Amino acid sequence: MPDDRSILEVRDWGVIDYQTTFDAMQAFTAQRTSGMLDALWICEHPAVFTQGLAGKSDHVLDAGNIPVVASNRGGQVTYHGPGQAVAYPLLDLKRSGFFVKEYVYRLEEAVIRTLSEFDVVGHRVRGAPGIYVRLANPLDHARLDIPAQGRDQFAGLGKISALGIKVSRHCTYHGLSLNVAMDLSPFDRINPCGYIGLQTVDLYTIGVHVTVAQVHALLHQHLEALLQASRA
């Protein structure tokens, strides 16, 4: 059986400003001790563009009245807004035994398993963290056969989940987002994750009508199972 330290302490922040959550994650991580529980924070954010450490200003095409917040996560610019499920695992990787690459794989796997609950097939694209679906047939299980990079890398695909993390003193923060039922138009104001012309999609657009709370519950279930798997 896992010991008490392997339990994820879940906190539902509801709808909360991105900067407030960002500051809280940094503070939590800075104050962590070896005896503290790992945590999973779930929330929605009001409309905001966030830039990762690799972010380039020219990937923000027209922010308009949506704030742009500089972040210390990996990756480029993305959008958060109402109708999007956000999950921030705060995990001690040293205690868990995960390397960063495996941790990222497990975050993506949690999204894939969550999508599968709605009979939607999520796909990985090499070199482009996050999860994608086939726009023409989100239920298609066939393996993707696309170039490793270049303008056809995302042909026929829509990005439904973004991922960006930060690791400090072996501890993770930031995490992932999964588009549920949101206004997707702000994604047209950026090059999502730094990719020109990358399409984004949500569950509602592909015919899955569920709530953010339902998606959060499933994400929680799958993240907890995957992030504790090595500790039994």
Q: Which among 12, 178, 210, 17 is positioned nearest to 84, based on CA atoms? A: 178
> Residue 20 phi/psi, 5° resolution?
-60, -45
Superfamily of structural domain 4-231: Bira Bifunctional Protein; Domain 2 (3.30.930.10)
> Contact 135/144 with Cβ under 8 angstroms?
no
Cite the active site residues: 193
Cα(85)–Cα(43) distance, integer angstroms: 7
Position 8 scores a pLDDT of 86
Q: Quick one: DSSP state of residue 40?
A: E
Coil, strand or helix at 146: coil
Q: What is the pLDDT along the chain (232 residues), one digit of tens a residue?
A: 334 444 689 999 999 999 999 999 999 999 999 889 999 999 999 999 999 998 889 999 999 999 999 999 999 999 999 999 999 999 999 988 899 999 999 999 999 999 999 999 999 998 899 999 999 988 878 777 665 555 577 888 999 999 999 999 999 999 999 999 999 999 999 999 999 889 999 999 999 999 999 999 999 999 999 998 454 3
CB burial readout 37-49, b (16+ within 10 A) else e? ebbbbbbbbebbb
